[in-house]
Structure 1
């Protein structure tokens, strides 16, 4: 078999795998893990159920693959947002806005990350090799935020009394995740029932978060 033929076959395999992952991401996000079968995925992709099993031996593996993929995409967006010409404060704000963009542009991926974070991890799940991969990507994201905070403190644009920067990074992540989730799910209800503009509320949240960490001496 020629190298060209082998390469074509490998590309086709990768294309099918990506097709399965994309369909599974949407179905898991819409219905939840327990309500999606390999038959559903086969129907959504136009592939046979045995072929889906060929790429992914069980539903847990497929689910974790979609979560890893989503976490990796989010991490890549954060890396891109941290532009070297920005100071540490501006970089942290850029990360937060990248999170908002991720929710708007990839809502299914956001939903999967949320679902995975909320699920009770059993011993069997914890021992799955892909679970460790999910945790490694998330750890890398927290380390990126911690380094960005450290840069801001060193530059004097962030407060020097922030304390443990990893704890600060986790808190910022939690605050941002929570507010974008609220705006996504309840934004129009907030507008209708209490007269709050979702976009303005999001800006208020960013202002509160950044004011809490910014060096007041540099505030404009």
Structure 2
């Protein structure tokens, strides 16, 4: 089974206008979808299963999400939101870049170490070959979103003088450095004894490396 992208996924009502959208119900749907995706995989989870687990009608699910693609993307975005990886962390132009990026980096590392995030990475890798759309949605809703956030920061911040292309290179470079060795070991289910203090020191060392790269214009 592949992601539901055929006509069967179209909102059965054909019209979302005027339908009440309870925030609480939306949260229940997202939580149910998260649990089902992690338990069964994305491809094997249907919108009917999500509706049943969330305790709502299928029509209610479609009043919030047009398709399973949309629902999966929202699940990924919700998890990023839990760690406040959004523009608010990068908005203040008066804060020193190292302080701004340390806060952002710490949140990013915590996100990568979230057990649900690690499990979702594994599921996407397992399904990607047979269902590339799963990988595409995950990539666009997660990694690309964070790259775009940092690109905007580096490009518009008065503390940097980077072209838009160089700003994107800087964003990709920083995120890859932040992943570090721990991300690789945890993806392989190998032990990784990393405390909160270790995480903070890792972010500090990473930023030192990153700014050294910037100083040498070696992006």
TM-score of the two chains, using structure 2 as the length reference: 0.59
Q: 1:175 aligns with which of 174, 177, 192?
A: 177
Residues 187 and 198 of structure 1 are in contact (CA less than 8 Å); yes or no, is this contact kept in structure 2?
no
Name the residue aligned to 2:150: 142
Q: In 2 relative to 1, CA 89–125 (structure 1 residues): closer, same or farther, beyond 3 Å?
A: closer
Other structure's SS at 1:24 match = helix
Structure 2 unmatched ranges of 5 or more = 1-17, 214-219
The correspondence of residues 51-90 of structure 1 with structure 2, limited to 5 A, is 51-53=60-62, 55-71=64-80, 73=81, 76-82=84-90, 83-90=92-99
Residues 25 and 109 of structure 1 are in contact (CA less than 8 Å); yes or no, is this contact kept in structure 2?
no
Other structure's SS at 1:164 match = helix
Aligned residues: 191
Residues 154 and 160 of structure 2 are in contact (CA less than 8 Å); yes or no, is this contact kept in structure 1?
no
1:173-216 Cα shifts (integer Å, max 9, x gaps):
1232455635766798244xxxxx54454344323312213369
Q: In 2 relative to 1, CA 99–16 (structure 1 residues): closer, same or farther, beyond 3 Å?
A: same
Alignment of 1:213 onto 2:215: no
Alignment of 1:47 onto 2:80: no
Name the residue aligned to 1:194: none
Structure with the higher fraction of residues in helix conformation: 1
Residues 75 and 141 of structure 1 are in contact (CA less than 8 Å); yes or no, is this contact kept in structure 2?
no
Other structure's SS at 1:189 match = coil
Q: In 2 relative to 1, CA 178–62 (structure 1 residues): closer, same or farther, beyond 3 Å?
A: farther
Alignment of 1:32 onto 2:34: no
The correspondence of residues 186-205 of structure 1 with structure 2, limited to 5 A, is 189-191=191-193, 197-199=194-196, 201-205=198-202
Q: In 2 relative to 1, CA 90–215 (structure 1 residues): closer, same or farther, beyond 3 Å?
A: farther
Q: In 2 relative to 1, CA 172–189 (structure 1 residues): closer, same or farther, beyond 3 Å?
A: same
Measure how far apart 1:89 and its partner are: 1.8
Q: CA RMSD in A?
A: 4.6
Residues 93 and 210 of structure 1 are in contact (CA less than 8 Å); yes or no, is this contact kept in structure 2?
yes
Distance 2:140 2:184 in 1: 29
Distance 1:36 1:184 in 2: 25
TM-score of the two chains, using structure 1 as the length reference: 0.59
Distance 1:183 1:145 in 2: 30
Structure (1 or 2) with the larger CA radius of gyration: 1
Measure how far apart 1:23 and its partner are: 1.8
